[in-house]
Amino acid sequence: MLETIWFLLWGVLWAVYFMLDGFDLGLGTLMPVVAKTDTERRLVYHVMGPFWDGNEVWLITAGGVTFAAFPTTYATMFSGLYSALMLILFALIVRGVSFAFRDEVNSPRWKCVWDTCLVVGSFLPALLLGVAFANIFHGLPIDKDGIYQGTLFTLLNPYGLAGGILFVLLFLVHGALWLAVKTSGDLHDRAAKLLPKLWAVLLVMAVIFLLATRRATFLYDNYLANPALFLILAVTVAALVMIRIYIAKGSWWRAWFASCVTIVGTTLFGVVGLYPKLLPSSIDPAFSLTAFNSSSSPLTLKIMLAVALTFVPIVIAYQAWVHHVFRHKSGEEDLEHEEGY
Amino acid sequence: MDVLMLSRLQFAVATFFHFIFVPLTLGLSILIAIMETKFVRTGDEEYRRLAKFWGKIFIINFAVGVVTGITLEFQFGTNWSRYSRYVGDIFGSILAIEATLAFFLESTFLAVWIFGWKRLSPKLHCLAIWLVAFAANLSALWILMANAWMQHPVGYTLRNGRAELTDFLAVVTQPLGFQIYFHTLSGAYILAGFFVMGVSAYHLLRKQHVAFFTKSLRMGLAFALIFSLAEVVQGHIHGAEVAKIQPSKLAAMEALWDTQANAPQTLFLIPDEKNERNLVEFGKIPGALSMLAYHSTGATVKGLKDIPKEERPPVALTFIAFRVMVGLGFFFALVTVIAWLKRNKLADSPRLLKLFLYSIPLPYIALQAGWIVTEVGRQPWIVWGLMKTKDAVSPIAASQVGVSLAAFIVAYSLLGATAFYLIAKHVRRGPEPVRGEG
């Protein structure tokens, strides 16, 4: 029971991470397309500024919880996906510092370096996290000792890449919606103009991914065994459709919330399909790491549950408050040094 | 080189680099919070400018600290998967708790502080930086409790081929953990104090922004003085704790080969590890080591020869790092006491100001040396007495680690150089002009 609760919490933490960091990873990737002038680029940074770091801590927590609740899975996943994780890490490093460094020197060349870091540092994690999760859904070559027997290129199979592209598109839509919510004027208009196209591509990719999932993974087994679970998929698809409806109405906040639901739903669709496996083995299902054979002791799970149930709501409360404090649209007048790095 | 050596090097690079940036944030956040509190209380605009000037340095340091901190968390899984599997039940949960309780708070409210100057009331804005300071120091507590468990595992049982938690409170309240915490924290505060003193001295030497930097110089000095003195006392208590728990570390710190009662403290020696002796030794104070370690001149101190060769830490490195740390520790106490006695004439004593300026790197060296003593002195164990470092490494290809290590060295060098350049640039530019003067 404890293991099942933690399995779900593990999935929820990743889902929340993708939902939150998703908008700044997407917007960072999108920056060269929507922002034409230096002022516009500064605005793009500005609408992510108060949030990106708090968002990224969800990744650290998701990683930490994997370590704490499922140490054997953490060990196999992080050592097995070594090169992919290192790439994500370096990308997050250059992205993170670009926020603090970019406007410290007033030279176009300097800014261009950090803008490039932001774009690459946003795109790569989005892509690779998608590749990693699709490969987890698909199963990894894990032997009987829980050791990964593939390479970085094992991950770059068609289904893995489809997952990567799906994540990038989900985040692009999410980021474009954030920009539409947070700005007015040219930036807003460009995001608004781009969104229907991005959404259409996302829809196509989502359909391809769902069909490919049928062929490449066992995820649907849980759903067929318990059809009520299809509700998750139904909500996710409905939310995806609602994004388009709200875009058409110009209700940007609502469209962004629908996008949140879509991202959380997509993650949970995979996680629920995986249950109870955390890392399915493609060599032999018996070698799979599950919530039961890779978890921590019941005492640790209980203590961690108490900590999580007490403090995660507090974190959510103060992060929501921060969103409330910085709920305004950003304009040029906000770019003076009183509000920013 | 094999996976083990490469992974150890990579961990060392990642930790050292991370630990260049983090210590300053621990103390500087408190100083900034005090500055802003003074602004809120007195309405004195200069304190607001002080908070902003030092805040910028904090932000650059914090940014590098954050991005390099993720590396450390990932590395336990990527490079030390056998260790992770073995200790995840205890060590992993402490890291997860750190993120949930402390790191969220610090990251979220730092952003509030940076972006909220106009959006929040002055009091609420000041609260944000206090929360950052609180969270930064709380974060260090959890991380060092996790480290203390590697030095001295408690509250566990060996079950299912791994260490499993039996007593959570024992793990998070063990005395060694608090010793390490206060020792590291005092070191970090000394570093912050000396940093603020040194940067303030830079401007005072040039007779610019005199009132502004006299204020921060005095704050930095008070901070450095208190914790330099505290560190001398606490360092001694900490050392006595290490003597009890990790006798081989103590023997390496002192390069003591033969077990003996009335063990001497040798002022100068050159250890010769190969031949299990010291090449040069002079300035022996009989019984001093026994006294320092066990509070009795007659106490027996274990020598390295009585510890199996395969369980001895590298002696020369541990020994030298320990001497450097202790030597610098006394230097900090001396400098700050002298400076305090002349506290009203500091702005007019270029010799002292120059000393402050050139002393900026010294606490950094002392902290890194301290870290070497702790971590190298723990070898060959990764978890004292339970697991050896060589058994902890991931079953991965050496080439993978070779590539990532090279990438880390390149990326971190660039990152370090950039951060240093930006901080130096900001320091030279000085505080923002007074509002209204544009």
- Residues B366-412: pLDDT tens digits? 999 999 999 999 999 999 999 999 999 999 889 999 999 999 999 99
- Residues B61-100: pLDDT tens digits? 999 999 998 898 899 999 999 999 999 999 999 999 999 9
How much is the ipTM here? 0.93
Contact B40, B126 (CB under 8 A): yes
Q: Do A89 and B70 touch (CB under 8 A)?
A: yes
Q: In sequence order, what are the residues at sequence separation of 6 or more whose Cβ sits closer than 8 angstroms to the Cβ of residue A180?
A: A188, A191, A192, A195, A252, A255, A256
Q: In sequence order, what are the residues at sequence separation of 6 or more whose Cβ sits closer than 8 angstroms to the Cβ of residue B171?
A: B90, B94, B145, B149, B154, B155, B156, B165
- Residues A130-154: pLDDT tens digits? 999 999 999 999 998 888 888 888 8
Closest chain B residue to A340, measured at CA: B115
Task: Give the DSSP per-residue string, A39-78.
Answer: HHHHHHHHHHTTTHHHHHHHHHHHHHHHHHH-HHHHHHHH
Closest chain A residue to B404, measured at CA: A86
Q: Give the phi and the psi of residue B117 in degrees, each rounded to 5.
A: -55, -40
Q: Do A326 and B88 touch (CB under 8 A)?
A: no
Q: Which has the higher per-residue pLDDT, B367 or B255?
A: B367
Q: Inform me whether the C-beta atom of residue A120 falls under 8 Å from chain B C-beta atoms.
A: no
Chain A environment of B99 (Cβ under 8 Å): 57, 60-61, 64
Of A51, A57, A83, the CB nearest to B99: A57
Q: Do B394 and A57 touch (CB under 8 A)?
A: no
If contacts are CB pairs under 8 Å, which of residues 164-223 in chain A contact chain B?
none
Give chain B's mean pLDDT.
Answer: 92
Residue B348, pLDDT score: 85
Residue A187, pLDDT score: 94
- Residues B232-252: pLDDT tens digits? 999 989 988 898 899 999 999
Calpha distance B111→B64 (Å, rounded): 15
Q: Inform me whether the C-beta atom of residue B60 falls under 8 Å from chain A C-beta atoms.
A: yes
Closest chain A residue to B418, measured at CA: A101
Q: Do A64 and B73 touch (CB under 8 A)?
A: yes
- Residues A221-258: pLDDT tens digits? 999 999 999 999 999 999 999 999 999 999 999 999 99
Contact B94, A296 (CB under 8 A): no
Q: Inform me whether the C-beta atom of residue B101 falls under 8 Å from chain A C-beta atoms.
A: yes
- Residues A65-111: pLDDT tens digits? 999 999 999 999 999 999 999 999 999 999 999 999 998 898 999 99
Q: Do B89 and A96 touch (CB under 8 A)?
A: no
Calpha distance B126→B109 (Å, rounded): 11
Chain A environment of B161 (Cβ under 8 Å): none
Q: How confident is the model at residue B437 (pLDDT cuts 50, 70, 90)?
A: very low
Q: Inform me whether the C-beta atom of residue B353 falls under 8 Å from chain A C-beta atoms.
A: no
Q: What are the residue boundaries of the structural domains of chain A, listed by start?
A: 2-173+275-335
| Beta pairing class for B260-261 and B162-165 | unpaired
Q: Do A325 and B112 touch (CB under 8 A)?
A: yes
If contacts are CB pairs under 8 Å, which of residues 226-265 in chain B contact chain A?
none
Residue B322, pLDDT score: 94
Q: Inform me whether the C-beta atom of residue B39 falls under 8 Å from chain A C-beta atoms.
A: no
Give chain A's mean pLDDT.
Answer: 93
How many other CB atoms sit within 10 Å of the CB of residue A19? 22
Calpha distance B26→A275 (Å, rounded): 42
Q: Do B74 and A322 touch (CB under 8 A)?
A: no
Q: Do A318 and B108 touch (CB under 8 A)?
A: yes
Residue B414 tokens read as 């660039």
Q: Give the phi and the psi of residue B283 in degrees, each rounded to 5.
A: 75, 45
Q: Do B92 and A338 touch (CB under 8 A)?
A: no
Q: How confident is the model at residue A338 (pLDDT cuts 50, 70, 90)?
A: low
Residue A263 tokens read as 């991202």
- Residues B344-375: pLDDT tens digits? 888 889 999 999 999 999 999 999 999 999 99
> The dihedral of CA A250, A254, A260, A261: what is its sign?
negative
- Residues B414-432: pLDDT tens digits? 999 999 999 999 999 999 8
- Residues B271-322: pLDDT tens digits? 888 888 888 888 888 888 888 888 888 888 888 888 998 999 999 999 999 9
Question: Would you say residue B24 has pLDDT above 60?
Answer: yes
Q: How confident is the model at residue B261 (pLDDT cuts 50, 70, 90)?
A: confident
Residue with tokens 């901080």: B423
Question: Would you say residue A328 has pLDDT above 80?
Answer: yes
**Which of B427, B422, B376, B414 lies closest to B17 in space, CA to CA?**
B414
If contacts are CB pairs under 8 Å, which of residues 377-416 in chain B contact chain A?
394-396, 400, 403-404, 407, 411, 415
Residue B258, pLDDT score: 87
Q: Inform me whether the C-beta atom of residue B68 falls under 8 Å from chain A C-beta atoms.
A: yes
Chain A environment of B391 (Cβ under 8 Å): none
